A and B are shown apart, each in its own frame.
Chain A
């Protein structure tokens, strides 16, 4: 077996050094009744060539967005990733390192995470960011818990424009703690009233920018209401590319910004791994979950970085920790950070402009289709459309024409018949004029 260096002669020598007759003797503490009897019900091991063949066949059974026109979003966005990023990610010193517990031999990881924290804080307009969580949806649950710790309150108000997975994961977490979730109805028109629902029990309000249905809203007034009521404003960002063009949540007065960074550097991967982002006001940093990297000096006075404020974390504080998170999304944070570095200020801004321009072109063409209505007046690279018939069969029929047209909202909200005809549609820089032509032509056929 190619991953196992020991030879039978090695094994015999080692058993002799140990003073055991066989490897079986080393398992003597295992009760006889629990030992594996007979061979494992798994196939024989395969050569590299055979494994590749098997998995390539499996992968070929998927319709790959890179091969067809793709307008899917709803929390996962297809972007072009510069070629150098993946090659750098594969460097073994990044790929095969663990959490930087020994800072003298982990300055590479620590420095890129410090840079990552800075980039996330900058684009969200916040003071500090952590070194990542699992994904945006779990970051939402963590933000709710954090807000409850900060405010010592238990009511969590969830916007109807927040991604349904963020809502569901937060509600699941709430069910098993003292938190009480109040989730507003899904809000395809962007008209909900959150301010009237904030009271003296409210720990936080969680909204999204751009909203799940595409709307761009300035939450500055909401932030003021939250502040007046002693509640925190949490703003979720599922598409960080938007922050290259729009007013950042920090400038609106957000207390906590969460989101998913998979748009940059990470890629789609059928939705996982994601990259949980969290940025906060500095005064709340000791209530923050997840790892933090801090600057310091070494014994020679040279600048360096270490894991810091660890007394918040499970390996020190155990049942009193701010979270149970240990493994996070380190390599995805590196991918994100690399992509941001490659883009830089100019590239990030231009990428955002290109996304928006593509979406505006798409909205204009879709709005001209008979019976199709674009539901968001303002948006970034995604918006909801109302179709003249149920969205699910439309999307299926389009897929049969090898076009990934959009995401039916009923996939998230099956119990809401009024959303049956609503579809989310996104256009990133990867969409070409030909893709749009194919979409419009396909929809004309399917909707007629």
Chain B
């Protein structure tokens, strides 16, 4: 980096070196009491030589992270219509609640008598998630959506094995998130893909043709990744059931239907719920999330440990596959699940109430349909024949012969102050642009976004603008990065120069 910058540092966007390029070893941002003199009991295993960590004083640390934060786009920064990811506002009350010392400071292995409040929190959130879905059981420990998928499939496999009915295949629509087929493999299944029909839904005839006594389960995202409700879901469910298979629903898009659809009435056996999407907990740059799984009567007994139950002395944890947990498929997570995330969701549900949740899904769907309607003037909607749910899907036909790609279009949006939509997913349409506005955006924001996108589309279509699009973004802390170079000769850590 140039040290005599005119001007590599642009006002608020200041170049910030790695921590390893700052400080010196004897400096520290933490003062500690002097350790008492003792004869060590390390058994000769003490470290030889320095680790090589840098030392920074507190003001240097604070400035480092503040500057890094200024190179990031978050929901707090601006509109973040990343399809399938549900970037809704993260209420700060959630954060305050999770930081109550009686929650944040509690150790997972205290005697049950000393953590009745914590067990009540897990139990109450579980109760409400069951009420919202109409499902009779819930596993609270899965750490994220993909982990919830694994939980559901493990319960399904355990149920089949319990009947001596070993099955090998899981059916996954081609529009599914990549986690679905990856999860099926991780659970020892072979994946068979199901095509979509011209309406963006599962091809029912093709599904039926693949259903036989080797099929353990169907994994179906509903509303699906095209932002559409699977209108033949009842027929799908009964066909799956008739084949002796289980119906796993990927609940990543549950936020579209909370309070409007009873999952239990769809014939579903298991569904994970991403607390970090539907229930407003922060995405945190990629986690942590939580993925509790609601289960049907048929799968209830196989739920993982631990779970909370009411005992003689109040609430208690069942931590082993004994007694009530006899048929449980086992443990899939350390301790008791993503407790801190659960508290945030609990604060959200308490804030919203039943009516608020109903209004949230209504507004989410309304906002998405508003984008769909207004943007269809210049962009090409993939499925224009009916309403969408919580997200609107476009493909790249509107960019045909312009020399501008979906990627270029997305990068140009960044310079206009918007985070891009999800690009090139789902794979069932060409050059996908998947936009999810969520319910926490105002009409003013949506109008500004729409007007900007329409202008960009017109500019692309007018011709001669391809180079301009390909040069975007220009206003960001970094311009387009060389991903090929990163993968060809990976540099995955800092190293001291010789």
Evaluate whether A345 and B51 lie within 8 angstroms (CB atoms) in the complex, with A218-B45, A270-B108, A326-B144 already known: yes
Complex CA gap A290/B1 in Å reads 31
Most buried by A among B110, B128, B290: B110
CA distance A299 to B425 in the complex (A): 25
Could you say which of B51, B373, B491 has the most chain A C-beta atoms within 10 Å of its C-beta?
B51
Contacts of B91 in A (CB 8 A): 3
Fill in one digit per residue for B79-105: 1 if any A CB lies within 8 Å of its CB, else 0: 010100101111101011111111111
A359–B284 alpha-carbon span in the complex (Å): 35
Instruction: Please tell me if the beta carbons of B490 and A19 are within 8 angstroms of each other in the complex.
Output: no
Are B114 and A178 in touch, CB under 8 angstroms?
no
How far is A21 from B413 in the complex, measured between Cα atoms in Å?
32
Q: Is the CB of A52 within 8 A of B93?
A: yes
Chain B residues with Cβ under 8 A from A268's Cβ? Answer: 104-108
Q: Are A129 and B150 also in contact (CB < 8 A) when A3-B89, A165-B331, A297-B482 are?
A: no
The B-contacting residues of A in range 358-416, CB under 8 angstroms, are 358-361, 363, 377-380, 395-396, 399, 404, 407, 411, 414
B333 touches A169 (CB 8 A): yes
- Tell me how many residue pairs across A and B have CB atoms closer than 8 Å: 724
Alpha-carbon separation in the docked complex, A18 to B368 (Å): 10
Give the Cβ gap from B330 to chain A, nearest Cβ, in Å: 4
Taken residue by residue from 262 to 283, chain A's Cβ proximity to chain B (1 for < 8 Å, 0 otherwise) reads as: 0000011111111000000010
A11 and B114: CB pair below 8 A?
Answer: no
List residues of chain B with CB within 8 A of the CB of A51.
93, 97, 347, 350-351
A167–chain B nearest beta-carbon distance, Å = 9
Expressed in whole angstroms, the minimum distance between the Cβ of B226 and any Cβ of chain A is 12
Per the 8 Å Cβ criterion, residues 415-448 of A in contact with B are 429
A294 to B487 CA separation, bound complex (whole angstroms): 8
Establish whether residues B332 and A138, one from each chain, have CB atoms under 8 Å apart when the complex forms: yes
B65 & A270 in contact (Cβ 8 Å cutoff): no
Q: Are B228 and A342 in contact (CB under 8 A)?
A: no
Given contact pairs A247-B48, A309-B487, A31 touches B334 in the complex (Cβ within 8 A) = no
Q: Mark A19-55, 1 if CB is under 8 A from B, else 0.
A: 1100101111111011110011111111010111011
Interchain CB contact under 8 A, B365 and A46: no
- Whether B486 lies near A114 (C-beta < 8 A) is no
Q: Quick one: which of B370-385 are within 8 Å of A by CB?
A: 370, 372-374
* B413 closest partner in A (C-beta): A102
A45→B353 contact, CB < 8 A:
yes
For B66, list chain A residues within 8 Å (CB).
88, 91
With contact pairs A94-B72, A271-B108 given, residues A4 and B360 touching in the complex (Cβ less than 8 Å): yes
The contact of A55 among B287, B350, B414, B420, by CB within 8 Å, is B350
How far apart sit A296 and B349, CA to CA, in the bound complex (Å)? 43
Tell which of A4, A97, A132, A314 has the most Cβ of chain B within 10 Å: A97
Contact (Cβ within 8 A) A321 B182: yes
Do A54 and B480 have beta carbons less than 8 Å apart?
Answer: no
A191 within 8 A of partner (CB)? no
Q: Are A42 and B69 in contact, with the CB atoms below 8 A?
A: no
Q: Are B109 and A314 in contact (CB under 8 A)?
A: no
B72 to A59, Cβ gap below 8 A?
no
Q: Which residues of B contact A203 (CB under 8 A)?
A: none
Interface string of A174-214 (1 = CB under 8 A from B): 01111000000000000000000000000000000000000
* Stretch among B26-34, B396-404, B452-460, B461-469 lining the A interface: B26-34
Q: Is B478 touching A103 in the complex (CB atoms < 8 A)?
A: yes
Residues of chain A lying within 8 A (CB to CB) of residue B197: none
Docked pose: A46 CA to B352 CA in angstroms:
7
- Interface of chain B residues 286 through 308 with chain A (CB within 8 A): 286-290, 304
Looking at the complex, which one of A216, A271, A379 makes contact with B336 (CB distance below 8 Å)? A271
Most buried by A among B28, B56, B386, B481: B481
B209 interface contact, C-beta 8 A? no
* Cα distance A168–B352 in the bound complex, in angstroms: 38
With A29-B386, A177-B188, A338-B65 already in contact, the answer to whether A40 and B29 are too (CB < 8 A) is no
Shortest beta-carbon distance from B356 to chain A in Å? 4
Interface residues on B, range: 35 or more
State A97–B143 Cα separation when bound (angstroms).
19
A118: CB under 8 A from chain B? yes
B311 within 8 A of partner (CB): no
In the bound complex, residues from chain A placing their C-beta under 8 Å from that of B26 are 345-346
- Residues on A with C-beta less than 8 A from B95 are 90, 95
A331 contacts the other chain (CB 8 A)? yes
Question: Is there an interface contact between B41 and A378, defined as CB atoms closer than 8 Å?
Answer: yes
Per-residue B-contact encoding for A287-323, CB less than 8 Å = 1, 0 else? 0000111111111101111101111011111111101
The residues of B that contact A316 with a CB separation of less than 8 Å are 178
Complex CA–CA separation, A121 to B51 (angstroms): 10
Query: Is there an interface contact between A360 and B40, defined as CB atoms closer than 8 Å?
Result: yes
Distance of A263 Cα from B176 Cα, bound (Å): 36
Tell me whether A60 and B285 are in contact (CB under 8 A).
no
Q: In the complex, which residues of chain A have a beta carbon less than 8 angstroms from the beta carbon of B483?
A: 296, 306, 308
Q: Does A225 contact B (CB under 8 A)?
A: no
| Interface residue? B9 (CB, 8 A) | no
- With A42-B128, A65-B107 in contact, do A30 and B493 touch (Cβ < 8 Å)? no
Q: Which residues of B contact A306 (CB under 8 A)?
A: 481, 483, 486
* Contacting residues of chain A (129-176) with chain B, CB-CB under 8 angstroms: 129, 131-132, 134-138, 145, 163, 165-166, 168-169, 171-173, 175-176
How far apart are the CA atoms of A391 and B30 in the complex, in Å?
A: 37
The answer to whether the Cβ of A69 comes within 8 Å of any Cβ in the partner chain is no
- Minimum Cβ distance to chain B for residue A129 (Å): 7
Smallest beta-carbon distance A442→chain B, Å? 14
Question: Is A361's CB under 8 angstroms from B38's CB?
Answer: yes
Q: A75-B334, A92-B74 are in contact. Are A285 and B492 (CB under 8 A)?
A: yes
A31 touches B233 (CB 8 A): yes
Partner among B52, B101, B153, B185 whose Cβ is within 8 Å of the Cβ of A64: B101
> Counting chain A CB atoms within 10 Å of each CB, which of B58, B182, B262, B357 scores highest?
B182
Interface hub of A3, A27, A119 (most chain B Cβ within 10 A): A3
Q: List 20 A-B contacts (CB under 8 A).
A: A17-B373, A20-B369, A40-B132, A44-B353, A45-B354, A45-B355, A61-B102, A97-B73, A114-B494, A119-B53, A135-B335, A177-B188, A271-B337, A273-B143, A316-B178, A319-B185, A323-B182, A332-B284, A340-B53, A344-B55
Known: A1-B356, A18-B370, A297-B481. 18 other contacts (CB 8 A): A17-B370, A55-B343, A76-B107, A84-B58, A93-B72, A97-B74, A115-B494, A131-B286, A138-B333, A168-B331, A298-B479, A308-B486, A324-B147, A327-B143, A346-B55, A347-B28, A356-B38, A378-B44
Top 4 A-B pairs ranked by shortest CB distance? A271-B335, A271-B108, A59-B102, A378-B43
